[in-house]
């Protein structure tokens, strides 16, 4: 059972961020409330996307709002994201890994197939920042963060911030 009221932003290295998420069995009032709570968390933290593991819930669900507004939020339940096209390298941030903005290589295009909150399946083609956002949120559902995608040089350059997050998690 999900306690939506206890949901909050999870930060690296919390375990839920490193584990593959489980499929959503049914879209019910709890899932709709979770999406509302995730929207609040995303907007409060000035993000444009948030995956359920980032709210402490290990389910295959994420939201995206390309302009960061509540009105544009779209929920993606049990999504499949298929990257396509050339690779592009760009700076990327993550609400669960604050203070780190490495250059991440991602495909310029992606196709997403998911279910909406009304139980309807949809498929969309995405390009540019939208495609990058879908790939980023999809990574969270597979137990990955931008730290898994960073090169060795970026890990060295960000080692102090990574250590700070780890120490904070361990209560040091």
Domain count, the chain: 1
Contact assessment for residue 80 and residue 113, using Cβ atoms and an 8 Å cutoff: yes
Element (H, E) at 79: strand 74-91
The pLDDT, as a whole number, for residue 17 is 98
pLDDT band at 1 (very low <50, low <70, confident <90, very high): confident
Structure token digits, residue 134: 């879908």
Residue 6 pLDDT > 90: yes
Residue 95 pLDDT > 90: yes
Model confidence pLDDT, tens digit, residues 102-112: 999 999 999 99
Q: Which residues does the annotation mark as catalytic?
A: 137
> In DSSP terms, which residues pair with 75 in a beta bridge?
63
Q: Give the CATH number, domain containing residue 67.
A: 3.90.45.10
Determine the structural domain holding residue 55 and report its residue range.
Answer: 4-169
Instruction: List phi, psi (to 5°) of 150.
Output: -70, 145
- Can you spell out the DSSP letters for 88-127? EEEE---TTSTT---EEEEEEEEEEEEE-TTS-EEEEEEE
Mean pLDDT across 26-38:
98
Residues making up the binding site for Fe cation:
94, 136, 140
Model confidence pLDDT, tens digit, residues 131-164: 999 999 999 999 999 999 999 999 999 999 999 9
Residue 172 pLDDT > 90: no
Model confidence pLDDT, tens digit, residues 40-91: 999 999 999 999 999 999 999 999 999 999 999 999 999 999 999 999 999 9
**Residue 3: CB atoms within 10 Å:** 9
């Amino acid at each position: 059972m999900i306690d939506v009221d206890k949901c909050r932003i999870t930060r690296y290295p919390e375990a839920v961020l490193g584990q593959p998420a489980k499929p959503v069995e049914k879209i019910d009032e709890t899932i709709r409330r979770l999406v509302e709570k995730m929207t609040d968390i995303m907007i409060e933290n000035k993000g444009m996307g948030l995956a359920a593991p980032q709210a402490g819930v290990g389910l295959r669900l994420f939201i995206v709002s390309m302009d960061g507004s509540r009105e544009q939020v779209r929920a993606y339940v049990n999504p499949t994201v298929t990257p396509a096209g050339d690779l592009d390298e760009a700076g990327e941030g993550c609400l669960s890994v604050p203070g780190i903005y490495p250059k991440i290589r991602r495909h310029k295009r992606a196709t997403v197939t998911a279910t909406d909150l009304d139980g309807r399946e949809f498929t969309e083609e995405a390009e540019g920042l939208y495609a990058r956002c879908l790939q980023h949120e999809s990574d969270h559902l597979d137990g990955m963060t931008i730290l898994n995608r960073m090169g060795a040089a970026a890990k060295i350059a960000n080692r102090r911030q990574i250590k700070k997050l780890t120490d904070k998690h361990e209560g040091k």
